[in-house]
Amino acid sequence: MRKGIEHPMSVPITAIEKLQEIDREVAMRQRVYDRFVREGRMTVPEAARKIGIMKAIAEDYRGMRGAKRRISEELDLDETQA
């Protein structure tokens, strides 16, 4: 197996960077899969499904980030009320 570029795990990746990368991937897939469909290398339903999966991952991640933020805010409120 060919070894590609790897990210050093000692360098933290922020939640914002992760979400930006997901959004970039969705945009790239839309461009590439559109071309694949035109060339007959992929069907429309297949392209739509794969793009939909990435969009769902992005929405899940946004939801997790929102929940984490709400929990953090609640913990901050609890500390000020104690």
**CA geometry: angle at 63 spanning 29 and 52, to 5°?**
25
Which region holds residue 60: left if phi is over 0, alpha if psi is between -120 and 50, else beta?
alpha
The arithmetic mean of pLDDT across residues 68-81, rounded, is 69
pLDDT tens digit sequence for 63-73 = 887 777 777 77
Whole-model pTM?
0.67
- 3-state secondary structure string across 30-65: HHHHHHHHHHCCCCHHHHHHHHHHHHHHHHHHHHHH
